[in-house]
Structure 1
Amino acid sequence: MLLLGSLAAAQSPKKSDYLENIALCNGSEHTSLAARIGGCTAFIDSGQGTRTALAIAYNNRGNAHTINGDVDRALLDFDQSIKLDPTYARPFNNRGAAYLRKGEYDLALQALDEAIRLKPNYGRAFVNRAGVYLKKNEYDRAARDYDEAIRLEPNLEAAWSGRCWTRAILGSLQAALEDCNKVLQSWPNDAATHDSRGLIHLKMGQADAAIEDFSSALRVDSRLASALYGRGLARLASGDKAGGDTDISAAKALRAGIDQDFMRYGVRDSN
């Protein structure tokens, strides 16, 4: 959150605008992305902020750009935030998450390692680093980072959901199931967690339960390729060849190589 220490520097007639820009940049309730970006930009351009406040503003604007899908512009803001305050962990974490979205995993790890070095109790950074390890197929390292994130922030949903998926891949099926069930108690419409639980049931040989979970995931996100492919395998296992082939073909059209992904997960198409 932006600091108000430089407020005294603001001229009285402009004070309300100054405060409004801070509120917008901080993302006050129901603030649109455009308004957040505009508020941060106005604050930055005002020349009234301290270096610390400007670092926060650049980080906040970078977050808004990331949510808006403009990852390259977000990275420029995170870089500027870090230049202003190299001890500020958040832009390193957010830079890592942005590089993860771009598929630049080594750069993502560098940024996230630094975020964790600066702030060893940063649960979200451990979750993001686990996400990079998942993309690099380093599942044991991902599991350790999810464990640490949960130890640090027990209510961090992404950590429980991510650990569920990782444990499902590693074959710790009962522990994975417990993680997924915990998430779905509070967030029953979480597509990723239904997808993960579908994989667990598929690996347990419970085809009907797998179909139900994958279908729940697809009701939330109809283009979730892993849920389509998993449901296809479960339908084949249950004797529904037509439905299984349809799902598998649709999944392959959405994501090339998904059959290889599932082989790494310990599941393969029996066709």
Structure 2
Amino acid sequence: MEQKLIQQGITKAKNGDYEAAITDFTQAIADYPQSAEAYYRRGLAYFDSGLTEKAIADYNQSLNLDSQQIKVYLSRAMAFLTINNIQSSIIDLQVVFSLDPNCDRAYKLRANICIRLKEYDRAIDYLKQAGKIYLERQDKESCRFCIARIRQIEQQKIAASGGVTNQVFLQQVQQKISQGKLDEALRDCNWLLQLDPYDAQAYQYRGNINLELEEYPQAKQDFRQAAQCYRTQGNLAESEKLEQRCLELQLRSVYQSNL
């Protein structure tokens, strides 16, 4: 009966009916007061309802009944972070690392804490560790997420120090393109790609410049490189668009050679 009530509550919570889910979990707790799972599940429902303090109280009770639950420490760490109790969140994550040194979720959450504290280098280190775990599991999608997140943090770090981010620099490149200063814009893209050879937008901008200069093979090469970078970042939609542009350029080349 305990598992039936818990499963009913889980189904209702998944459908967004948190009030009904809480009722089921509360009944499970009343019938089975030693159920660590029922407290944990009610904590999740409280958290999703915006009742963070109640969620933490249930996570506490669940851990009192079973102190080895990684999922509960992770959920409580997230709840602590929500109410800006950063130190308690860090302590919970330290416990998680002691129980499972390969917990990818803990590394990503710890990285988020570092970002909040503006400890950008430490955040990158935690994400690299998560990426390593995903690589060993051959989880390419999650690994791409870590790579993309690291690049975002690197840009945040530059902005925080008062520097010019890639995005701002590319906006300046776009202005030069619109003003017809294609040679200057091309030099700027080349310079940026020397600094950051994984900037998909820089390759895309350079491809557009080469199109304007009617340098079609170079444009196709840039678009293909941009597509690869977007794919690595997990942006498959943009990658597919650029692959389509490469195909169009190839067809144009074939058509012109047959004239």
TM-score normalized with structure 1 length: 0.53
Is the counterpart of residue 95 in structure 1 residue 46 in structure 2? no
Q: Which amino acid aligns with 1:73?
A: A
Q: Which amino acid aligns with 1:149?
A: V
Picking from 80, 98, 114, the partner of 2:61 is 114
Check whether the contact 1:147–1:163 (CA below 8 A) recurs between aligned residues.
Answer: no
Question: Residue 242 of structure 1: CA displacement?
Answer: 11
Is the counterpart of residue 132 in structure 1 residue 79 in structure 2? yes
Change in 2 beyond 3 A, CA 1:142/1:194:
farther
* 2:127 equivalent in structure 1: 180
Question: Residue 236 of structure 1: CA displacement?
Answer: 5.4
* 1:202 equivalent in structure 2: 155
Q: Distance in 2 between matches of 1:58 and 1:100?
A: 19
Picking from 178, 189, 198, the partner of 2:141 is 189
Q: Which amino acid aligns with 1:240?
A: Q
Is the counterpart of residue 77 in structure 1 residue 24 in structure 2? yes
Unaligned stretches of 5+ residues in structure 2: 175-259
Picking from 60, 71, 86, the partner of 2:7 is 60
| Greater mean deviation of Cα atoms: 100-109 or 65-74 | 65-74
Q: Distance in 1 between matches of 2:152 and 2:85?
A: 18
Spell out, residue by residue over 1:54-77, the C-alpha distance to the aligned partner (whole angstroms, 9 max, x if none).
112211222222223222222112
Q: Distance in 1 between matches of 2:15 and 2:157?
A: 39
Check whether the contact 2:43–2:58 (CA below 8 A) recurs between aligned residues.
Answer: yes
Percentage of matched positions with identical amino acids: 19
3-state SS of paired residue (1:160): helix
Q: Which amino acid aligns with 1:180?
A: L
Change in 2 beyond 3 A, CA 1:69/1:196:
farther
* 1:153 equivalent in structure 2: 100
Check whether the contact 1:164–1:196 (CA below 8 A) recurs between aligned residues.
Answer: no
Question: Residue 188 of structure 1: CA displacement?
Answer: 4.3
Q: Distance in 2 between matches of 1:198 and 1:66?
A: 35
Q: Distance in 2 between matches of 1:82 and 1:128?
A: 19
Root-mean-square deviation over aligned CA pairs: 2.9
Check whether the contact 1:90–1:115 (CA below 8 A) recurs between aligned residues.
Answer: yes
* 1:263 equivalent in structure 2: none
Q: Distance in 1 between matches of 2:49 and 2:146?
A: 23
Check whether the contact 2:40–2:59 (CA below 8 A) recurs between aligned residues.
Answer: yes
Change in 2 beyond 3 A, CA 1:62/1:198:
farther
Check whether the contact 1:168–1:196 (CA below 8 A) recurs between aligned residues.
Answer: no
Question: Residue 237 of structure 1: CA displacement?
Answer: 4.2
* 2:171 equivalent in structure 1: 240
- Structure 1 or 2, whichever has the larger Rg, is 2
